[in-house]
């Protein structure tokens, strides 16, 4: 439409634009970030954030105590397939809209400023929580690794010591992220092979080193209830529809963070295809690899003095299983592999969260946006990186409160943080997935799409997200239930308090102020320039 614009001076037309830069310009943005990531690197960051060596191990107790072996052998593959459906719906969206804003940008495009505002904040809360959860899990496994190797170190255990390691992990992850965006692409490439080789080595160790293994019947049919509810019953409807779902946290938390492929799309070559494949492939490979890894752990559970599977030992986490089945030397080696993988994962989480912070600030949605969207000479959002690290540390402060359930220390604060991550991220995913379904054939497809399958995939994805989110906001132990006599505040699952509290504050902010000035994604490139080179 030449008549709609003033003539464009020759110097205003960007020379030698790539197809990626043209696509980004059509979406309203100039190329600011360094597009140095390959398709493999894009896949690698989501695969690293999913990190089967992190989520499978750090949340093993959540699954095992709420249902027993069947909670792992059956719910993992079922939920994994449903999450893959979620991934397919998001792959279609990122192919059409490959921007760093990712989830929030899609919601804004399809549902307007309000949808974008709430989606963006849910996504940001989830990304910061997953950074906090993974980093704290990494610190815990570093501490476990050293404790398994050294008895004297183990005897001085304290929550303060673990929290200090957690802060160091955040600091190191921040430094790596600030140094160079290209360096992070290399780190993620290395991380993929560490996860693949490391997980394979751990599986082989669990197969060949233990003197005995549990039966197939135990792994696929044994069930028990360590939740404290229902008197330990495993035969009632409540067991199947209330207790076992508490263990969904294991799968849903492990297989999350794959939206990183979208947030890094502005730094990825051939992003409309590469980022789409990065999302669904990272999920598919993680579901398969994680299932093999978890089954190997359950088969390796040692027997107790009575010659029965030591369920009480297994309920305290994977570290006692490794020590009991492998001995301290092999257990130390396995824990070291896992702790290292978790550091890669934590660093990748920070990359994804900082890119979302940058993109959301670029559109003026975060207080102090001018500060958070600044880039270094290497085109890295360093201020956003530091901000994510600081808020992650603050969110995890309740982990300093010692909580004992039946005389055993339980990281309830860690489970709460991981629940916040799952709820925030997946609710943010649900909004654009639902809006895309509402758009139907009007949706402008990208080069990778689901065709007509979106008609059943998208509602199924949204239903899975809503059901699991409700379960993760429930009190998972009787002492966290305010209607029980044993209730104490230190046991409370603060995931719903943070998530619903944040939504309430955001709603007040939106109607009081934000709706007057937040208009969604802001263009950083002149539309006339876009038309000039797109003609």
pLDDT tens for residues 373-417?
888 877 788 999 999 999 999 988 888 887 765 555 666 677 778
Long-range contacts of the stretch 148-154 (C-beta < 8 A, 24+): 148/319, 148/322, 148/323, 148/328, 148/331, 148/332, 148/335, 149/328, 149/332
pLDDT category at 19 given cuts 50, 70, 90 is confident
Alpha-carbon dihedral 257, 258, 263, 265, rounded to 10 degrees: 160
Kindly report the backbone phi and psi dihedral angles of residue 309, in degrees, each rounded to the nearest multiple of 5, phi listed first: -55, 130
Alpha-carbon dihedral 170, 261, 469, 285, rounded to 10 degrees: -100
User: Given a cut of 50, is residue 112 above it in pLDDT?
Assistant: yes
pLDDT at 13: 43
Average pLDDT, the chain: 86
Query: What's the average model confidence in pLDDT over 445-464?
Result: 95
Kindly report the backbone phi and psi dihedral angles of residue 66, in degrees, each rounded to the nearest multiple of 5, phi listed first: -110, 70
pLDDT at 407: 54
Burial status of residue 509 (CB atoms within 10 A of its CB: 0-12, 13-18, 19 or more): middle
Tokens of 121: 């904040």
Q: Which helix (H) or strand (E) holds 456?
A: helix 454-472
pLDDT at 10: 37
Query: What's the average model confidence in pLDDT over 30-50?
Result: 79
pLDDT at 351: 87
Count the alpha carbons within 13 Å of 70 in the hemisphere toward its beta carbon.
13
DSSP 8-state secondary structure symbol assigned to residue 302:
P
Tokens of 248: 């969904």
User: Given a cut of 50, is residue 76 above it in pLDDT?
Assistant: yes
Higher-scoring residue by pLDDT: 431, 225: 431
According to DSSP, the residues that pair with 66 across neighbouring strands are 225
pLDDT at 364: 86
Query: What's the average model confidence in pLDDT over 267-273?
Result: 83
According to DSSP, the residues that pair with 405 across neighbouring strands are 408
- What structural domains does the chain harbor? 36-518 (1.20.1740.10)
Percentage of residues of the chain with pLDDT beyond 70: 90
Cα–Cα distance measured from residue 25 to residue 279, given in angstroms and rounded to the nearest whole number: 23
Ranges of beta strands (E only) in 201-260 are 224-225
Cα–Cα distance measured from residue 294 to residue 299, given in angstroms and rounded to the nearest whole number: 9
Asked if 268 and 37 touch (Cβ cutoff 8 Å), the reply is yes
Query: What's the average model confidence in pLDDT over 508-530?
Result: 78
Query: What's the average model confidence in pLDDT over 494-520?
Result: 89
pLDDT at 15: 56
User: Given a cut of 90, is residue 257 above it in pLDDT?
Assistant: no
pLDDT at 457: 96
Helix axis angle for 159-179 and 113-149, nearest 10°, is 120
pLDDT at 327: 94
SS3 (DSSP) at 37: strand
Q: Which residues contact 452 (CB under 8 A, 6 or more apart)?
A: none
Query: What's the average model confidence in pLDDT over 432-461?
Result: 94
pLDDT at 148: 94
pLDDT at 6: 38
């Amino acid at each position: 439409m030449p008549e709609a614009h003033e003539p464009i001076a020759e110097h205003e037309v960007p020379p030698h634009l790539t197809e990626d830069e043209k696509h980004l310009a059509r979406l309203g943005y100039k190329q600011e970030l360094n597009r140095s990531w390959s398709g493999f690197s894009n896949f690698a960051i989501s695969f690293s954030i999913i990190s089967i060596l992190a989520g499978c191990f750090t949340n093993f107790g959540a699954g095992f105590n709420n249902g027993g072996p069947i909670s792992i052998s059956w719910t993992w593959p079922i939920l994994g397939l449903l999450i893959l459906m979620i991934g397919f719906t998001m792959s279609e969206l990122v192919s059409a809209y490959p921007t760093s804003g990712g989830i929030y940008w899609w919601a804004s495009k399809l549902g307007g400023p309000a949808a974008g505002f709430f989606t963006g904040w849910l996504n940001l809360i989830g990304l910061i929580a997953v950074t906090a959860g993974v980093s704290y899990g990494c610190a815990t496994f570093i501490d476990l690794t050293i404790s398994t190797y050294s008895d004297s170190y183990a005897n001085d255990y304290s929550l303060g010591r673990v929290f200090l390691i957690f802060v160091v992990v955040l600091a190191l992850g921040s430094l790596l992220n600030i140094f160079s965006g290209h360096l992070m692409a290399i780190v993620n490439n290395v991380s993929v092979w560490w996860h693949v080789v490391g997980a394979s080595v751990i599986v082989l160790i669990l197969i060949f080193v233990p003197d005995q293994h549990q039966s197939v019947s135990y792994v696929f049919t044994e069930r028990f209830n360590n939740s404290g509810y229902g008197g330990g019953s495993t035969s009632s409807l409540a067991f199947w529809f209330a207790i076992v779902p508490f263990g969904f946290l294991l799968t849903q938390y492990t297989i999350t963070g794959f939206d990183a492929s979208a947030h890094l799309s502005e730094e990825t070559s051939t992003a409309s295809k590469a980022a789409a494949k990065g999302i669904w492939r990272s999920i598919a490979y993680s579901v398969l690899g994680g299932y093999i890894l978890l089954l190997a752990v359950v088969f390796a559970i040692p027997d107790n003095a009575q010659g029965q599977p030591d369920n009480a030992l297994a309920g305290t986490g994977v570290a006692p299983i490794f020590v009991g089945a492998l001995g301290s030397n092999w257990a130390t080696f396995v824990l070291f592999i896992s702790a290292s993988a978790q550091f890669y994962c934590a660093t990748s989480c920070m990359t994804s969260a900082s890119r979302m912070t940058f993109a959301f600030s670029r559109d003026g949605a975060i207080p102090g946006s001018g500060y958070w969207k600044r880039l270094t000479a290497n085109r890295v959002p360093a201020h956003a990186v530091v901000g994510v690290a600081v808020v992650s540390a603050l969110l995890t402060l309740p982990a300093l409160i010692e909580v004992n359930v039946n005389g055993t220390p339980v990281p309830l604060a860690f489970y709460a943080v991981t629940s916040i991550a799952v709820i925030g991220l997946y609710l943010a995913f649900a909004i654009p997935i639902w809006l895309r379904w509402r758009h139907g054939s009007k949706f402008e497809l990208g080069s990778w799409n689901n065709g007509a399958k979106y008609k059943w995939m998208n509602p199924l994805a949204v239903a899975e997200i809503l059901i699991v989110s409700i379960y993760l906001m429930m009190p998972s132990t009787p002492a966290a239930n305010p209607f029980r006599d044993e209730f104490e505040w230190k046991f409370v699952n603060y995931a719903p308090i943070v998530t619903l509290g944040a939504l309430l504050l955001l709603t007040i902010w939106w109607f009081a102020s934000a709706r007057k000035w937040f208009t969604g994604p802001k263009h950083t490139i002149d539309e006339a320039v876009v038309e000039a080179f797109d003609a």
